[in-house]
A and B are shown apart, each in its own frame.
Chain A
């Protein structure tokens, strides 16, 4: 596992960061646009891609691409380099907005300077799959270069895509995960849609929940068949015991189904696919992001299926990282599992519904499984059952 996030780059760093208060920063200026006021967010602070990747070839790459390349370089460079041409892992990367800053800046450039004067080199970054493709070229993978874009569920669906690719025998080892940058265009869109908090705080399931805060980052995992891991002598961190995606067509406030049919189905089906009853789940990493409609929907579904199980809400520490969120939540859940605890949010606050939200860190129950949720305003619903293997 590897990450570039506001919590760190590996499970150890993330485990430590989860015990510290949220590191909320702010952004105002972008290359072509400025926001009217500073936007509170969860940026990857002190991100220095040149220090990780070297200078060569970075000039034309956007931030999203640099985040992905850096996560791959930090976690998997040696694996790429030591693998043969045929066995170098392929890539399945989820993102909600992809290279939107490159696309938007290309358009802005055309408006400001004229369509005939835009940099043709910049055009290559305007396809949504450019971060994944750039990474695929850098690491010379011949097996797979796939991008998945299912709103804030993209990272989870990229994992589902990778799991399917492995199940069907198309490959034995892949790198899969989620990616998102904080961009002017995403911030503007989220603000106009009414998803952002006006108070500069992100309080999942809070009675005062008024919106979310944007975050960014990349979390990627090496996913492979058991046989491949054994042959490589790899240390197995966890098993994707079950994964399920479905779609909820009902649109309530801000796009979320107030009845939570899709959320409930995704959680149930993930457990069915894992071959376990819901009671075997030790804790749930919630999708909750401080948007009241989203949190209400999830709380309702959780109260039906997991009425007493501890609920972690990692987005209070990462922000809403959109397509990267499910994989960052999965990284946090793994970090907690390895640390033998469920990290709390810190100071308690009144909740909207009866959710067993963990405020003060508690030891993880002696159960092997955790459930990671991802629910989007577009109707995408997904859940992963993780089995602790170490």
Chain B
């Protein structure tokens, strides 16, 4: 029962290679490596010491001192990205019906640094919580991230947090797409955020899933993923709303699809069943056939299991055409930003569609016979993109694919 088309009119991004769409884009086109030694916590003794941190992030450019002090880092990242997206879209929320403006966000860990801080304090106080600052616990539950974003931009419509791990950004954008296309909202800021997390870093290290130095998706010598942080946000609105206010349209959201492996919590189904379902459902939802797809933004974490499975998924859906579709993973540059990953990848897809350049998979030196597609190795490539699909997979076998397209009027 779609009622209206959904278009993208603004982008916001905070990433290890740049803050703001232009800074991010310029670095990504050059293939800048954002993986570096982690400074947020002690990494001594782990199999790796690197990750994708956002260095020198200054929320002061987007938020007031009171707002900053009331938020954890994940909220600060998300609210900053949201404000960037609205600024680019040229939207003054005070001129909108606030109940028609929504927020739909995803995250993997929420505000883990708040919990880490609280538990450290409890242990330092010999298991007493009496010294916890009264305002600390309220900053933790991940629902506060979307609430903080809504409050910072003045949204009073549907506001939701969908913490479906590393596919959360796509889930959130998909829900925003549904809210707008059914007429439940005119404008939704959609995306995802995650801060660098000691929990995630520890856990992925204990699972032996982290790369020692570099993230090398699809390369034969890949040795894992790099934990990262960041936020991505898209200003999405109905075509009617965007047209009525004379907005510049960057791209169109054409559809999305979800699919479940129903296999294991931490390992993808090696047959790729859930990822295939998500991709097929996304194309169906967008009323597109596989031969209309020009580019695939890969989940591409750089782990043995993911990259093999994702290659298999792409081959299963696209058949012979799979080898001729460019596939790249920006995680090679920024690491795995968890719940932000697919949101930042959606931002990247919109930029690629808008600017006619495909971002590369860097650190690619030796082809893997089991990963034998065109991964756009090491250098950006000029190419017109009419339709891009973006895959995102998550713990628990929660798979998703988003379809974005060039707006054709």
Contact = CB atoms under 8 A, between A and B. Distances in A.
A376 to B, nearest CB: 8
B46 A150 contact: no
Contacts of B161: 148-150
A71 to B, nearest CB: 18
B398 interface: yes
A96 B141 contact: yes
Given A123-B206, A146-B164, A245 B159 contact: yes
Contacts of B157: 246-247
Interface in A140-165: 140-151, 153-154, 157, 160-161, 164-165
Contacts, number: 248
Interface residues of A, number: 81
A128 B97 CA distance: 33
A127 B396 contact: yes
Contacts of A107: 115-116, 119, 198-199
Interface stretch (A110-118, A234-242, A356-364): A110-118
B127 A380 contact: no
A145 B160 contact: no
Given A127-B165, A151-B141, A194-B134, A111 B119 contact: yes
A271 to B, nearest CB: 15
Contacts of B110: 128, 149
Nearest to B168: A129
B164 A147 contact: yes
A97 interface: yes
Q: Most chain-B Cβ atoms within 10 A of its Cβ — which of A128, A151, A168?
A: A128
For A33, A146, A380, which residue has the most chain B Cβ atoms within 10 angstroms?
A146
A115 B46 contact: yes
Contacts of A157: 160
B262 A123 contact: no
B150 A127 contact: no
B266 A124 contact: yes
B228 interface: no
Given A145-B260, A249-B154, A130 B130 contact: no
A137 B156 contact: no
Given A129-B164, A145-B398, A255-B138, A120 B158 contact: no
**How many interface residues does chain B have, given as a range?**
35 or more
Nearest to B108: A127
B206 A118 contact: yes
B396 A168 contact: no
Contacts of A185: 115, 118
A147 B178 contact: no
Interface string B163-183: 111000001000100110110
Contacts of A142: 259-260, 262, 273-274, 277
Interface in A266-287: 269
A153 B159 CA distance: 11
Interface string A159-180: 0110011011110000000000
A127 B138 contact: no
A97 B184 CA distance: 27
A281 B154 CA distance: 31
Contact of B175 (A108, A164, A193): A164
28 contacts: A107-B115, A107-B119, A107-B198, A116-B206, A118-B203, A127-B396, A128-B107, A128-B109, A128-B165, A136-B396, A137-B262, A137-B397, A141-B260, A147-B164, A148-B161, A149-B142, A149-B163, A150-B143, A151-B147, A161-B162, A167-B178, A168-B1, A245-B158, A246-B157, A255-B138, A265-B156, A378-B138, A378-B141
Interface of B: 1-2, 45-46, 99, 103, 107-110, 112, 115-116, 118-120, 122-123, 127-130, 132-134, 136-138, 140-144, 146-147, 150-151, 154-165, 171, 175, 178-179, 181-182, 184, 198-199, 202-207, 258-266, 273-274, 277, 281, 285, 394-398
Interface of A: 33-34, 36, 90, 96-98, 100, 103-104, 106-108, 110-112, 115-116, 118-120, 123-130, 132-134, 136-137, 139-151, 153-154, 157, 160-161, 164-165, 167-170, 185, 188-194, 245-249, 251, 255, 262, 265, 269, 376-380
